[in-house]
Amino acid sequence: MSWASQNASMLAHLTGQNAYLALLPVLFGLVISLPLGIACVRFGWLYPPVLGLTSVLYALPALALFVALIAYTGLTDTTVIIPLSVYAVSVIFPSVVDGLRSVPEPVRQAAVAMGFGAWRRLVTVELPIATPVVIAGLRIASVSSISLVSVGSLIGIGGLGYLFTDGEARSFTTEIVWGVVLIVALALVTDSVLVLVRRLLTPWQREVASTHPVRRLSVLGGRPGGGDVPA
């Protein structure tokens, strides 16, 4: 404990750097995955090749990508941020597609019948229903990203990973343990924030969390008259 309190400002700085290096790529991943996922749902033939490409990219070892990028972006934050963004896309993109595909057909048709255009239907109906699945992807992406940043310490840009290389050089276990603990804590906090965001964005899920999405609609008063409308 005494080592940590003596070095509190360094630990805070490294934690902040770790959060920045890990979460900016997740944001990029979301910004890239949303239009990509929407396009792949609209044009179904696009999905298999894009999914294949992202899963191949996901298999590439982080350290190899970091050092390969040194030739282009040097020893800058960008060198770590680009590969982590690629990994984030490979995790978030399939969840965007799954989320949009989870929209029940009757709901989609109801929106069309109410005169919603494609754009309005996407923003006000389909994306809100896809939100829980997309956030599930964001949770996996951000937790893995936070722990992967530390590999960057092998090229000198690694947030809390610095504690690992420095601790190894000095054979100082306390420092290494603090690195592991802070990374896990940062991941847990980020994960809880995302769960909170999901609750705020999808308030209808709280009341009938486990029911079928279609039945959730009746809670919102989505089925006029409640009776069967003849086709």
Partner 1 sequence: MSFFNFAWQWLIAVGHWSGPEGVPSRLLEHVEYTALAMVISAAVGLPAGVIIGHFGRGGFAVVSLANIWRSLPTLGLLILAFVLSSGASWAWLIPLVALAVPPILVNAYEGVLGVDPDLKDAATGMGMTPLQVLFKVEIPVALPLILLGLRTATIQVVSTATIAAYISLGGLGRYIIDGLATNNYGEVAGGAALVVLLALVVQFAFSGLTRLIVPAGLRNQARQS
Residues forming the site for partner 1 (CB under 8 A): 48, 55-56, 58-65, 67-72, 139-140, 143-144, 146-148, 150-151, 153-155, 158, 160-161, 163-165, 167-168, 171, 173, 176-177, 179-180, 183-184, 187-188, 191
Q: What are phi and psi of 59, to 5 degrees?
A: -75, -15
Residue 142's nearest CA partner among 66, 69, 193, 198 is 193
Q: Which is nearer to partner 1, 140 or 201 (CB)?
A: 140
Q: Which is nearer to partner 1, 114 or 193 (CB)?
A: 193
Q: How far apart are CA 130 and CA 153, in angstroms?
A: 36
Residue 211's CB: how many other CB atoms inside 10 A? 12
Exposed/middle/buried for 203, CB within 10 Å: 0-12, 13-18, 19+?
exposed
Q: How far apart are CA 30 and CA 45, in angstroms?
A: 22
Nearest-approach distance from CB 116 to partner 1, in angstroms: 29
Nearest-approach distance from CB 163 to partner 1, in angstroms: 8
Nearest-approach distance from CB 63 to partner 1, in angstroms: 5
Nearest-approach distance from CB 167 to partner 1, in angstroms: 7
